[in-house]
Homo-oligomer: A and B are copies of this chain.
Amino acid sequence: MKAVVLVAPGDVQVLTVPDPEIIDPGDAIVAVRESAICGADLFPFHGFTPGFENGTVLGHEFVGEVVAVGAGVRHIQTGQRVVATSTISDGDCDHCVAGRPSQCLSRSLFGYSGVYPRLDGGQAEFVRVPAADRVLMALDDRVSDEAAVFLADVLPTGYGAIQRAGTRLGDVVAVVGCGPVGLMAVLCATRLASRVIAVDTIPARRDLAESLGATAVAPEDSLELVNEFTRGLGADVVAEAAGSVGGLTLALGLVRGRGVVSVVGAHFEPDYPLDNGHMFEREVSLVFTIGDPFNDRGRLLDLMVSGVIDPTVVVSHRMPLSEAADAYALFDAREATKVILTCSS
């Protein structure tokens, strides 16, 4: 089959590789229809993922059709249209039993190796899905492939930014960083908030955020706007989706006393200079979240089926699998907000 392979850091190629096969009785094989490129794919692309194996098939956001299931699969059936969670979980470890699958002790991320055990991803014609009964969710006909791709990762992550912060109807919410995850946070926040302040340096991303219902602003003007909307108190919730030192510092400055800064941007700095005096005086909560597609995708699917939210507004490019190398280049250059690769031949 054709698959998007990271041959070496910076070198994405579409290669012919062996078709995946069922290894464990709980596996399923999915014929991929659409797959997306995520910001997290850029870490191995840039060689930032320790131990990443060259040759790994990329991609953890995909929708497709089940074409085979192992003997131990009880519910998922061939012919079903499905979406997978970006990370797999076993359902049996202490974290899973306690309802925290994103912290599963044996988690792997599709399209990754090194930091987790290797698990070839879904930017390919076919993908092997372990623990298929847990990992896959059957889709409602009323939701398109392109919309459903967002259920794998970025939409639950954006939702998690808002939900884990305890956001309440009427709160003022700021979102720092309007890439795909940040825009998903905006999308969810606009349902709850009296005001959503979307902060980004890129005018096109601010325009997108405005189209979703936010008031968008450049970073340097964000504090003034938050103060205007909150009588100087600060935002109830600030979602940080920039994944940068500057983004986090800005976020911490926008939040009110006893407010929550909810981080969904990927951060790896070992020594971010946290202003503990500010944290203490304001009694701030700083909550990091990877996202929990397993627990949250059902309600997000319901919100898409009923038309309340439509994540596809952030799709900027739709390209065939064969053009994956170009797609990565565009996405890396921030010329694309979200790229969907069409995988079925």
Contact = CB atoms under 8 A, between A and B. Distances in A.
A233 B95 CA distance: 8
A308 B267 contact: no
A319 to B, nearest CB: 30
Contacts of A272: 273-276
* A contact face: mostly helix, strand, loop, or mixed: mixed
A268 B282 CA distance: 12
Contact of A288 (B133, B256, B280, B295): B280
Nearest to A277: B268
A191 B190 CA distance: 9
A268 B276 contact: yes
A279 interface: yes
Interface in A252-268: 256-258, 263, 266-268
A102 interface: yes
A20 interface: no
A142 interface: no
A82 interface: no
Interface residues on A, range: 35 or more
A286 interface: yes
A268 B285 contact: no
A195 B304 CA distance: 11
Contact of A159 (B169, B233, B263): B169
Contact of A280 (B188, B274, B290, B306): B290
Contact of A170 (B169, B285, B299): B299
Given A103-B257, A268-B280, A276-B267, A172 B98 contact: no
A193 to B, nearest CB: 8
Contacts of A163: 168-169
A287 B288 contact: no
B279 A288 contact: yes
Nearest to A26: B74
A48 to B, nearest CB: 11
A97 interface: yes
Contact of A266 (B273, B280, B286): B280
A94 interface: yes
Given A276-B267, A288-B279, A74 B95 contact: no
B192 A191 contact: yes
A209 to B, nearest CB: 15
Contacts of A72: 25, 72
B271 A274 contact: yes
Rank and list the top 3 A-B pairs by shortest CB-CB distance, nearest first. Answer: A170-B299, A103-B257, A271-B273
Given A98-B298, A170-B303, 14 more contacts: A94-B233, A94-B298, A95-B256, A95-B258, A103-B256, A103-B282, A194-B303, A194-B306, A195-B306, A271-B275, A272-B273, A276-B288, A279-B286, A285-B285
22 contacts: A72-B72, A91-B91, A92-B133, A94-B298, A95-B257, A95-B258, A99-B99, A103-B282, A163-B168, A193-B308, A194-B299, A268-B277, A269-B274, A269-B276, A269-B277, A270-B275, A270-B277, A271-B275, A272-B275, A273-B274, A276-B288, A283-B288
